[in-house]
Structure 1
Amino acid sequence: MMQPILTVAEVNGYIEEVFPEVQGQYLCEHIAPMEARVRAVVGPQNLRPGGTVSGPTMFGLADCGFYMVLLAMIGKQALAVTTNASIDFMRKPEPCDMIAEARILKLGRVLAVGDVLMYSEGSDKPVARASMTYSIPPAR
């Protein structure tokens, strides 16, 4: 099985370098072959009426989580981009940090396909599931 190229620290550092606007919002906590665990740091700005985490926050976590696992596997590729995403919201998340378990199901030369399960911190019941496809830029 393919092994990750980047460590947790390298992924987090690269995200801070190329996307300084999200610094501290999404943190990679664990990397394994084709898998990563990513945290969304949730604050009042991420909540919607009713005291639940907003859909855009969960979408951001799915997108960033999959991007992080992809970077771990292919290296520093700032121009890898989302080409398709679909999200199912399954239950109301708690107003706390969210955890994403992102995995790559197929890693090809030009496309990566996978999914992301998202949980409220401390819960084992997923609140959302996303299906993700990313385009990988050609090697130069």
Structure 2
Amino acid sequence: MTESDTAPFDLVAAQQLLTDVFAAWVQDLQLSVEALHPPGSEGGAGATLRMKFSERICREGGVICGQALMSLADTAMVFAVASASGRYRPMTTVDQTTHFLKPASNADVLADARILRVGRTMAFGQVMLTPAFDVKPVAMVSTAYALM
């Protein structure tokens, strides 16, 4: 990114990060950053992303494929770490465990990514994936990232 480390990590910076840092196939998921949750927020630091529903990411019957859901969760956690840190930090996924709870179908999906701990070299988090019209999660994801 071309922003200095002193620029605030806000929704404008987050949307720019989405286009500057992520691969084209991630951008094809039509993700948008809905909210950033700074440290001290209710529920903890984090971010909320939305993945627009598209037949392109579905299996038979309008069910969103697990690969798209896992990519949404992974991407959302990058924004959660940036929100907790106040800036984007290059990182790589070390571990991601996804528990699918029910099918996601025919709806946008929200990823509420929250930080459990950010250290000097590692970050840990949890992501809840829910349909935009429902509060019952379709998946819960535990994550770990190495910070570069």
Q: Paired residues, what number?
A: 132
How far does residue 23 in structure 1 lie from its aligned partner after superposition? 3.1
2:4 maps to none
1:23 aligns with 2:35: no
Report which of the two has the higher share of strand. Answer: 1
1:8 maps to 11
Q: CA RMSD in A?
A: 1.4
Is there any run of 5+ residues in structure 2 with no aligned partner, and where? 1-7, 39-44
**Residue pair 2:129, 2:137 contacting (<8 A) in 1 also:** yes
TM score, norm. by length of structure 1: 0.88
**Residue pair 2:107, 2:133 contacting (<8 A) in 1 also:** no
* Cα distance in 1 for residues equivalent to 2:14 and 2:92: 16
TM score, norm. by length of structure 2: 0.83
Percentage of identical aligned residues? 27
* Cα distance in 2 for residues equivalent to 1:86 and 1:19: 21
Please list the CA deviations of residues 56-112 of structure 1 after superposition, one character each: whole Å capped at 9, or x if unmatched.
Answer: 0100111011011112223122x3110000000001112211001100001111000
